[in-house]
Structure 1
Amino acid sequence: MHSAEMSSLVNVIVVGAGNRGENYSEYAVIYPDRMRVVGVADPRDFARKKIQERHKVASENTFDDWRRIVEREKFADAVLICTPDRLHKDPAVALAKKGYHILLEKPMAVTEDDCSEIVETCIQSKVMLTVCHVLRYDPVIHKIKVLIDSGVVGDVIHIQHLEPVGFYHFAHSFVRGNWRNEAESSFALLAKSCHDLDLIHHWAGGRRCIKVSSFGSLSHFRKENKPAGAGNRCLDCPLEGDCAYSAKKIYLDRVKKVVNMEFEGGLTAALTMVAFTEEICKRRTSIYGSKAELTYDGHEIKVFDFLTSKTTKQTADMNVPGNFSKGGHGSADYHLINSFIEAVMNKDPARIRSGPEETLASHKLVFAAERARLENRVVFYDEQKS
């Protein structure tokens, strides 16, 4: 961004001072002339005070409940909503109505109706919405979209996409961690793979999904698989030393979910999310077009041209300032928050790659896939919700 494009400093409030809120707020440390953290809300004293001290937030602008922000006159330009999944909808709707631009962690919400309400409220309130589909902002993955749009692969015929969650990452987050219980968070496909279905929808280039099927189950971490003589807690269990699933070690799981989709024009796509992998979240993608085959191995892109029978490698600049490259999403986090702040500064929602309407459409695809899995059938996308 050129300095001539800058219009004003963006003041933000962090709602949810955990890992994501802390990470995005670091942008203010790197670029204090672009973004300033002027408020923070979190019920946890430690997390709230950490953000407060890091950014020198005034005491009167620190809250243990985000609802107190709504009671105040608007005192910032935007809010970064990084609360747990089930606590996204209420602050997003209330703060959009107050006129704050919204950066919202994915998933938008845990029901289709709540997602729709958030989008409708942001549109009616004339505020910008950025949903944290960080993969859209990953330079290499963004390059895939650029190549598709440039016509390099021709007409896209089929998309094959693998998400290797990583054996210990899945166990840490989805067996023992914050997303271990659907009733307390959200179902795994929404929590973990809404990124991936969003990418497939993104690569489909606006083509409408016609039908979807989904298969998947938790096949190992069940009570009936508990070994004889095992304790109730790993640290007290006599079998812990010989157990591959010990909380003191790295865990394993055999979760697998498959989603098949058909889009307008005959484009088909398949997503496989599997937890039993060495690689952690290093997506692998093959896009089969009428002119070329594009493959992405989680590190680099290759394009095999059918006419010349030659393979070319595609690269992207992954360098980012500060500590953003050290985060779990690498440089994508930086590019996401940078795009949001640029959009607010310049009053230009075109800078946002994960805006309201398209993100809502990809979320609806996730809900349709989960419905297909639960009802063990193909769901036609035009069906009315029962």
Structure 2
Amino acid sequence: MGKCVKVAIAGLGSRGRDAYARVAKTHPDKMQITAVADTDPHKVALMAKEYNLPKEACFSSAEEMLAADKLADAMIIATQDRQHVGHAIPALEKGYHLLLEKPVSPDLNECAKLAEAAKKYERKVVVCHVLRYTPIYQKVKELLDDGSIGDIVSIMAIENVGWFHQAHSFVRGNWANSDVTSPMILQKCCHDMDLYLWLAGKECKSLSSYGDTYLFKKEKAPEGCAMRCMDGCKVRETCPFDAEKIYMENKLAGYNAGNRIWPLDVLVPEGPNEEKILRALKEGPYGRCVYHCDNNVVDHQVVNLNMTDGSTMSFTMCGFTSSITRYAKFMGTRGEMIVNMDGNEPEKSEITIRNFDENITEHSIDVMSLSDDFSGHGGGDTQMVEEFLDMISGEREESSYVTSLDRSLESHYCALAAEYSRVHGGEPVDIRTFAGDR
């Protein structure tokens, strides 16, 4: 049995504070949190209390923590997108192994510098492409590798971001403005660029992309709307993006519907109640009108990918969907496979194979039988952290679905090339030329 891995966490947003830290509670034999850092002292205090951390193990920034002596075997870096590499390289120099929140960076040169540093200091760097670790996609990978539909000729995939998720994270929230974070196709969809290339065993040769911000901008604001939803807005009754409706009444997100976790824990990290939520909506960023925010990321985008073997993929990201799901259709030489992952309602997830024969033989996989834990990205969050800890402790070697830094950068090249194409009117981009043969 491997040793218990000591872990420091830089960045206490919902990913660092909840999705990853909770493994220290569910598997205390595997993970011990020994230090935390965040610019929000309230979040640091909450973590210190929850994990019984002394004052000297609590830091007001990642930089302050990295200036201290080495505090753990590994570090989880879950700071903002453009801070990742600036925190990761000093952490490698200190001797930390890294679990690095995606994306690595919206800057290709920074991605290359981190890859060089990881090799130089001989540290393990695992990027948080959590979908590889989900039971549903591990099963899909197994089926595709076994040739269940023959050779894959084309993939049609869509990420249904969900209308309230788009408004929460990419209009009002932390990832609304690519000038301070990342483009939507990288921040949200590098998961997808990584996932489908991995599942199909493909490499992208070239791509093109189109997309824009269609709705969430000032010129689309209805007459009578206010700067904040709760400040006398005259169109609240008919606006689906009204903040109070989303955070109080929505069947998946709303407090009155019984929700107590994401996205409410973003508004109220210490634990939501009605009074605190309403105060956050009156005073904080999540109560702003969606037509009057500082957002510039797209709310819809399409990408067409041409693979090195002549196969193709079409990918769509859209914020105007009723569900938060990922749907894909793999079309092969001997059949087709439909995969639908519903992260909120896993019982609605689907794997269906239709083989080409006289009767078009169809069979489905019972997704719910694949695991007893579908929490956190369909069961991927916990599985990913456990795999990382087992690698660091020496309990197991790197598995085929662990997302190493080198593997992750392929998806980053595709996403950033897609953004370049989108900005340049759909111009085709050769991936190797764009990545500079890194």
TM-score with structure 2 setting the length:
0.81
Q: 1:36 to 1:203 in 2, by over 3 A?
A: same
Question: In structure 2, what residue type is equivalent to 1:284?
Answer: Y
Distance 1:25 1:203 in 2: 28
Distance 1:208 1:297 in 2: 23
Show the counterpart of 2:267. none
From 285, 289, 303, the equivalent of 2:328 is 285
Counterparts of residues 142-221 of structure 1 (less than 5 Å): 142-205=138-201, 207-221=202-216
Structure 1 unpaired stretches of 5+: 1-5
8 A Cα contact 1:252 1:276, kept in partner: no
Show the counterpart of 1:273. 317
Show the counterpart of 1:3. none
Question: In structure 2, what residue type is equivalent to 1:291?
Answer: R
8 A Cα contact 2:209 2:422, kept in partner: yes
**Offset of residue 176 of structure 1:** 0.9
Show the counterpart of 2:301. 257
Question: Which runs of 4 or more aligned residues in structure 1 lie more than 4 Å from their structure 2 counterparts after TM superposition?
Answer: 251-254
Distance 1:124 1:151 in 2: 39
Distance 1:225 1:314 in 2: 44
Does residue 59 (structure 1) correspond to residue 102 (structure 2)? The answer is no
Show the counterpart of 1:382. 432
Counterparts of residues 10-89 of structure 1 (less than 5 Å): 10-23=5-18, 24-89=20-85
Does residue 313 (structure 1) correspond to residue 361 (structure 2)? The answer is no
Q: 1:256 to 1:71 in 2, by over 3 A?
A: closer
Show the counterpart of 2:281. none
**Offset of residue 228 of structure 1:** 2.9
Show the counterpart of 2:99. 103
Show the counterpart of 1:227. 222
Q: 1:117 to 1:348 in 2, by over 3 A?
A: farther
Distance 1:235 1:39 in 2: 39
Question: In structure 2, what residue type is equivalent to 1:258?
Answer: V
**Offset of residue 349 of structure 1:** 4.9
**Offset of residue 244 of structure 1:** 3.3
Show the counterpart of 1:8. 3
Does residue 141 (structure 1) correspond to residue 145 (structure 2)? The answer is no
Count of residues in Structure 1 that have an aligned counterpart in Structure 2: 374
Structure 2 unpaired stretches of 5+: 247-288, 292-297, 342-348
Distance 1:272 1:52 in 2: 41
Show the counterpart of 2:386. 338
Does residue 303 (structure 1) correspond to residue 353 (structure 2)? The answer is yes
**Offset of residue 11 of structure 1:** 0.4
**Offset of residue 384 of structure 1:** 4.5
Question: In structure 1, what residue type is equivalent to 2:363?
Answer: T
TM-score with structure 1 setting the length:
0.91
Question: In structure 2, what residue type is equivalent to 1:112?
Answer: L
Distance 1:227 1:59 in 2: 50
Deviates further, 34-43 or 147-156:
147-156
8 A Cα contact 1:128 1:349, kept in partner: no
**Offset of residue 348 of structure 1:** 4.8
**Offset of residue 256 of structure 1:** 1.9
C-alpha RMSD of matched pairs (Å): 2.0
8 A Cα contact 2:102 2:128, kept in partner: yes
